[in-house]
Amino acid sequence: MTDTDTRTGAAPTGRRRSPVTQVPLSTTPLPALDPKLPPWPGGVETSGGVTLHVRRTPGTTEATAVYVHGLGGSSTNWTDLSALLAPSAGGISVDLPGFGFSEPAHGFRFSLDEHADELTKFVEGLGGPVHLLGNSMGGAVSLLISARRPDLVRSLTLISPAMPDLRPDPRRLSDPTMALAYLPFVGRGIRRRLAGQTARDKAAQVIKLCFAEPGAFPAHRLDELAEEHSARAGLQWANAAMSASTLGIVRTWLTRGPASLWSVAPLVPVPSLVVWGSEDRVISVRRARRTANALARGRLLVLPRTGHVAQMERPTAVARAVLGMWERAEGNAW
């Protein structure tokens, strides 16, 4: 199988569901993807009064794409996809506060609303609307921004966004034994084992969770991820950011009424693409069709044999779908 194999608008289950318009895939030639491409250069930038660590992908047009990672991820999650889309839009991959190498401001509490507020200010400072692409937690953040400030957003791409999914399934953890770590008696040994894991062990567990085919993850990318995990281990705010952001997601999932993400989605007026992996263990693909249907101009692409980070596992397929939306949105055909 290649990452150009797709299933457009396919229902994730056998039950009959409302139709979703088929996703048109772009036929524009994409750049050759360098399998050894290193992460794009990064640095700390201030925009709109907000300081974040970002990685920039040089583009050849005036359009800008802003890429937003998921829980536990970083700006390096977008290396390949941003390279494929660079001829159509220069890329800015952000590290959200407390992730990657973005130090959170004093008093930052890591709720989804706060992440969205900070990124809104950052995007506003860039000048002009951007193409916004978010994965997992970054998808929920991007959804909030697009609903509240559509003037800042040209198009929205959600890749396995963190829509409410409260399944009590330990397989959703990078290491299922983490669920037992704080139980009496057995927990002490599990905590010792977890503490003794190397950065590479932890990186490999993340890939096993997020990829449908973890064996296909390039060794050099695993080295990069392990290096990043090792570097973040020395940041005093890293663990707190992870824990508090996780809690912030769950709190949002428990919210009902106008603040629910299901109520927010219909408020997004911009062209929107929802991409989901059929083998996503983190956020169930059963949320895919409802998410696309909730968006005013949403279309759905389900990728077979793909996990939670389609932009990393199937970058070419995702790039063709995103570019297809951009091309048709420019002609008001989306």
**Which pLDDT tens digit goes with each residue over 197-221?**
678 888 888 899 999 999 989 888 9
pLDDT of 282 > 70? The answer is: yes
pLDDT digits (tens, 9 = 90+) for 63-114: 999 999 999 899 999 999 999 999 999 999 999 999 999 999 999 999 999 9
Q: How confident is the model at residue 1 (pLDDT cuts 50, 70, 90)?
A: very low
Which residues face 235 on adjacent strands? none
Residue 185, helix vs strand vs coil: coil
- Sequential DSSP letters for 20-69: -PPPPPP-SPPPPP-TTPPPPPEEEEEETTEEEEEEEE--SSS-EEEEE-
Residue 276, helix vs strand vs coil: strand
pLDDT digits (tens, 9 = 90+) for 170-199: 555 544 444 433 344 544 553 455 455 678
b/e code 38-76 from CB counts within 10 Å (16+ = b): ebbebeebebeebbbbbbbbebeeebbbbbbbbbbbbbb
pLDDT of residue 181: 36
Q: Residue 98 contacts by C-beta under 8 Å, 6 or more apart in sequence?
A: 104, 108, 110, 237, 238, 240, 241, 242, 244, 245
Q: Residue 197 contacts by C-beta under 8 Å, 6 or more apart in sequence?
A: none
pLDDT of 309 > 80? The answer is: yes
The H or E element containing residue 94 is strand 90-94
Mean pLDDT (the chain) is 87
pLDDT of residue 166: 84
pTM above 0.75, yes or no: yes
Phi, psi of 200 (to 5 degrees): -70, -35
pLDDT of residue 233: 83
pLDDT of residue 172: 56
pLDDT of 6 > 50? The answer is: no
